[in-house]
């Protein structure tokens, strides 16, 4: 009979082969042979490192669900205040139909995917501890162990955000073990994550050479800690505010020092960079370029090379193709809502609720990030102006805009027209063909601007408005906005607006609006603009309701645990499911 260690090795080899074949990160190369000898795989730090690297596929990327054809081509912005899924007005994330224990749309596989990587991490940690490599070079192997503990902690942050408290598993299980493991409390999960990140940060390097872009650092570990503690301190997890009616310990955080802890965690990262200013961006083009190549403001990213797309050789999995308008042969899958676009200020710092905003001329005089992040009617993009308008009378190929839903046009799929009147511009490299690859364009996981906003929010919650404004304005003024002077509740609202705009389409808003319990941004009429072209070639717009997202109860603050998991265990299902 094979011993348990050999069984673990065989399982890990299978995982390594699977994740390597499905990997699309050229910067983290893994060579897999058809057969492994356990002595060889665990004999040196270099060999052990190969087992570690596949787990980097657990980090987020351009697609929200790689196991689904649609889900490879956009992210969770489609289920947030920021945007909606556009093609045929489908409800792929079920934010309109609602989640059930049997069907959470494109989120269905999330539970299984995350736990698969947790098990992979636990296997690695067990094998590395007693390996020949550890005997040969304990310092090198302990750093690899710290790297894997970082990745496992990052996985737990995602499980916690999506599901609340989950079982804390730190070892693998044999066939005769008891698999009926209860969920830990939310607070226990936070404490575990923070402890793991602190331990990892103590051993990880502060920086990496360019050749190791995307590998964990001590700063990355502290950045994950900052986000974790900020989320834990938020209203959604306050025992007095949490909306659940049962098992509240799975969702609440009662630490009396929660906001100070969140501030301290962010400040630890800030101190590592000396509280320096962010990279300057004198124009919208300069700001847009921030997201196309690695730079010093990026703390942890998923790297990409120059020959593979987000999903292997599938050219339709990078955002140049999936988010461009119809007339450029784009698919325009995640279309920003007009509700969200109104969050972008005017250039002078006033809002779209103030007199300086003209709804008849909505795109003149807006702040820099509007022009960098959003494609809109009349925007210059890839050599021409975007045109969503339809002729006022009948379909007219001579007048209908190239990016409209017109059936009179003989190019592009009319189903890819934008129902909201917007497309995402951020992250697009307009210097390459629409199906090209922008070498080294990273997917950003953590960056310095987020840390400054984390710190500002925590300090504002503590009543330290002056300190909060310093770091809020480091972000806002980089975008050429005037300094924010507000205090109290008005300051907190300014910080929230800044997060919506600065961190646009980076996977934050889905969680931010939930942790703030901002239900008007969770359930709403999604507003779009329809553009009409008149015989004199002038265009006018009309607001209309594209779709309605109901928010009827609190269960959709969290995903349901899949019913199949509930049926085979005594796991407690999330509230409301």
- The structure tokens listed for 454 are 């984390």
pLDDT at 413 (0 to 100):
86
Establish how many alpha carbons lie within 13 A of residue 141's alpha carbon, considering only the half-sphere containing its beta carbon.
22
Give the 3-state secondary structure of residue 289.
helix
Q: Is residue 35 part of a domain?
A: yes
Determine the structural domain holding residue 11 and report its residue range: 1-67+109-182
Return the pLDDT at 302: 94
In the DSSP assignment, the letter for residue 97 is T
Q: Strand pairing of 524-533 and 390-391?
A: parallel
Angle, nearest 10°, between helix axes 448-461 and 465-476?
150
Domain presence at residue 26: yes
For CA atoms 255, 258, 260, 263, the dihedral sign is positive
User: For position 175, what pLDDT does the model report?
Assistant: 61
Check: pTM over 0.85? Answer yes or no.
yes
Does residue 114 form part of some domain? yes
Instruction: Copy the structure tokens of residue 457.
Output: 């929010």
> Which residues of the chain have a pLDDT value below 50?
1-7, 9-36
What whole-number distance in Å separates Cα of residue 392 and Cα of residue 411? 21
Cα(60)–Cα(84) distance, integer angstroms: 19
Distance CA 517, CA 327 (A): 38
Query: What's residue 177's pLDDT?
Result: 66
Please give the backbone phi and psi of residue 547, each rounded to the nearest 5 degrees, phi first.
Answer: -165, 165
Q: How far is Cα 324 from Cα 332, in angstroms, rounded to an integer?
A: 5
- pLDDT (0 to 100) of residue 295: 97
Position 168 in a domain:
yes
> Among residues 140, 228, 127, which one has the least CA distance to residue 187?
228
3-state secondary structure of 37: coil
Cross-strand bridge partners of residue 542: 530
| Half-sphere exposure (Cβ direction) of 408: Cα atoms closer than 13 Å | 14
pLDDT at 273: 98
CA 212 to CA 505: how far, in whole Å?
A: 26
Count of the separate structural domains present in the chain: 1
Residue 388 in domain = no
In this structure, is residue 532 part of a structural domain? no
- Residue 151 belongs to domain with CATH number: 1.25.40
Indicate the pairing of strand 524-533 with strand 539-549: antiparallel
pLDDT for the residue numbered 176: 63
Question: 485-500: buried (b, 16+ CB within 10 Å) or exposed (e) per residue?
Answer: ebeeeebbebbbbbbb
User: Does residue 9 lie within any of the structural domains?
Assistant: yes
- H or E stretch covering 84: strand 83-85
User: By C-alpha distance, which of 188, 118, 180 is closest to 153?
Assistant: 118
Tell me if 506 is assigned to some domain.
Answer: no
pLDDT at 108: 94
Q: How high is the pLDDT of residue 255?
A: 97
Alpha-carbon span 267 to 254, nearest angstrom: 22
């Amino acid at each position: 009979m094979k011993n348990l260690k050999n069984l673990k090795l065989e399982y890990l080899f299978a995982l390594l082969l699977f994740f390597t074949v499905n990997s699309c990160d050229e910067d983290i190369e893994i060579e897999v042979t058809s057969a492994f000898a356990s002595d060889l795989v665990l004999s040196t730090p270099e060999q052990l490192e190969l087992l570690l690297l596949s787990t980097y596929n657990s980090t987020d990327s351009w697609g929200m669900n790689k196991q689904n054809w649609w889900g490879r081509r956009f992210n969770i912005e489609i289920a947030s205040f920021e945007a909606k899924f556009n093609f045929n007005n489908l409800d792929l994330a079920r934010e309109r139909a609602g989640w059930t224990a049997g069907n959470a749309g494109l989120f269905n596989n999330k539970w299984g995917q995350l736990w698969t990587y947790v098990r992979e991490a636990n296997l690695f940690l067990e094998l590395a501890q007693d390996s020949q490599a550890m005997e040969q070079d304990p310092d090198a192997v302990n750093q690899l162990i710290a790297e894997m503990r970082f990745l496992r902690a990052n996985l737990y942050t995602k499980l916690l955000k999506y599901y609340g408290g989950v079982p804390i598993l730190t070892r693998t299980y044999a066939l005769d073990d008891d698999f009926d493991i209860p969920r830990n409390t939310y607070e226990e999960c936070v404490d575990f994550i923070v402890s793991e990140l602190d331990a990892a940060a103590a051993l990880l390097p502060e920086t990496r050479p360019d050749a190791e872009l995307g590998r964990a650092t001590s700063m990355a570990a502290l950045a994950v800690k900052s986000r974790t503690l900020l989320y834990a301190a938020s209203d959604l997890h306050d025992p007095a505010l949490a909306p659940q009616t049962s098992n509240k310990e799975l969702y609440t955080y009662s630490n009396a020092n929660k906001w100070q802890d969140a501030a301290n965690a962010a400040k630890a990262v800030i101190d590592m960079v000396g509280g320096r200013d962010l990279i300057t961006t004198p124009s919208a083009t300069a700001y847009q370029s921030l997201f196309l190549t690695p730079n010093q403001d990026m703390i942890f990213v998923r790297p990409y090379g120059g020959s593979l797309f987000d999903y292997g050789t599938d050219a339709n999995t990078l955002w140049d193709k999936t988010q461009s308008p119809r007339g450029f042969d784009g698919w325009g899958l995640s279309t920003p809502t007009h509700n969200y676009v109104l969050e972008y200020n005017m250039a002078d710092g006033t809002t779209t609720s103030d007199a300086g905003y003209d709804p008849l001329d909505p795109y003149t005089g807006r702040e820099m990030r509007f022009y960098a992040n959003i494609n809109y009617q009349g925007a210059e993009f890839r050599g021409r102006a975007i045109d969503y308008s339809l002729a006022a009378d009948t379909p007219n190929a001579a007048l209908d805009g190239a990016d409209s839903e017109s059936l009179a046009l003989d190019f592009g799929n009319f189903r890819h027209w934008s129902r909201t009147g917007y497309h995402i511009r951020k992250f697009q490299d307009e210097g390459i063909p629409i199906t090209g690859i922008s070498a080294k364009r990273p997917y950003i996981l953590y960056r310095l601007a987020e840390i400054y906003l984390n710190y500002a929010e925590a300090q504002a919650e503590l009543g330290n408005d002056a300190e909060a404004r310093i770091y809020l304005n480091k972000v806002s003024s980089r975008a050429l906005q005037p300094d924010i002077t507000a205090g109290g509740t008005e300051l907190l609202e300014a910080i929230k607006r800044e997060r919506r705009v600065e961190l646009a389409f980076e996977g934050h808003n889905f969680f931010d609006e939930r942790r703030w319990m901002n239900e008007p941004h969770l359930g709403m009429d999604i507003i779009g603009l329809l553009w009409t072209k008149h015989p004199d070639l002038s265009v006018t717009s009309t607001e209309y309701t594209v779709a309605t997202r109901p928010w009827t109860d609190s269960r959709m603050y969290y995903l349901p645990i899949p019913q199949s998991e509930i049926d085979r265990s005594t796991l407690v299902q999330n509230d409301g499911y």
